[in-house]
Copies of this chain bind each other. A is one copy, B any other.
Amino acid sequence: MFVRIATDRSPRPNSLRDFGMTSDSNTIVSLSEFTYKKGTEVYGEKEPAEYVYQVKVGAVRSYKLLTDGRRQIGAFHLPGDIFGLENGGAHRFTAEAIIDTTVHLIRRQSLELVAKSDVMVAKNLFRMTTANLHHAEDHMLLLGRKTSLERVAAFLLEMDKRLTAAGVIALPMSRRDIADYLGLTLETVSRALSRLHELGVLGFVGNTQRQIVLQDRAKLASLDLQS
């Protein structure tokens, strides 16, 4: 047990478990767990990056703000995803819990220490950074050149791959979050979803608007163009 300054969003260490960053040699690094309430900040842009996080349950949004409040969400982090991995000392995004979210976390320092001696861990860090880069590259194409319908179709396909359970996409994020991820307004996202509903591409489960069933994945895929 160690002492920690109490702040609202200071993680409290709970357990010691595999962070998914161990190598074949079974190196174990100290690991904590923490839960963030819906809407609370995990870290802010330009803050020193002290921890690296992995979503256990819940969902997190990473975004940048312009001075007048316009927001661009760069990524959603869903269960299993690792985020907050920064090479420089500071975070490039603000990260917030979209819903109540439990994360595993590890001190960046410990991770770098392990990476120095463990080639597998170093490789994994590189691989994750590369994966982030690829996602950002694809997202630039979406933001720069796709229509609203294409963007929403691409979003649904991405979410389908990442969080579908039992044929239902249970979206944790609001229309506004989706809009800020896709470079649109929430009204435009809503209209696109209604249109896809009319087209018979998707359906809603029950009375909620956040549970979606893909009824025609092929047609949806044809609406999102390939690169």
- Residue among A133, A134, A144 with max Cβ neighbours from chain B (10 Å): A144
With both chains docked as a complex, state the minimum distance between the C-beta of A94 and any C-beta of chain B, in angstroms.
10
Query: A145 vs B93: C-alpha distance in the bound complex, in angstroms?
Result: 15
Chain A's interface size range is: 35 or more
Chain B residues with Cβ below 8 Å from A145 are 66, 70-72, 183
Chain B residues with Cβ below 8 Å from A68 are 225
Taken together, the copies of this chain in the complex come to 2
- Residue among A129, A134, A143, A227 with max Cβ neighbours from chain B (10 Å): A227
Query: A67 vs B223: C-alpha distance in the bound complex, in angstroms?
Result: 12
Contacts A72-B145, A140-B139 given; does A126 touch B87 at CB 8 Å:
yes
Chain B residues with Cβ below 8 Å from A125 are 126
Nearest residue, chain B, Cβ from A227: B64
Measured CB to CB, the residues of A under 8 A from B are 45, 64-68, 70-72, 74, 87-88, 92-93, 122, 125-127, 129-130, 132-134, 136-141, 143-146, 180, 182-183, 225-227
With both chains docked as a complex, state the minimum distance between the C-beta of A141 and any C-beta of chain B, in angstroms.
4
With both chains docked as a complex, state the minimum distance between the C-beta of A140 and any C-beta of chain B, in angstroms.
6
Chain B residues with Cβ below 8 Å from A137 are 64, 74, 92-93, 136
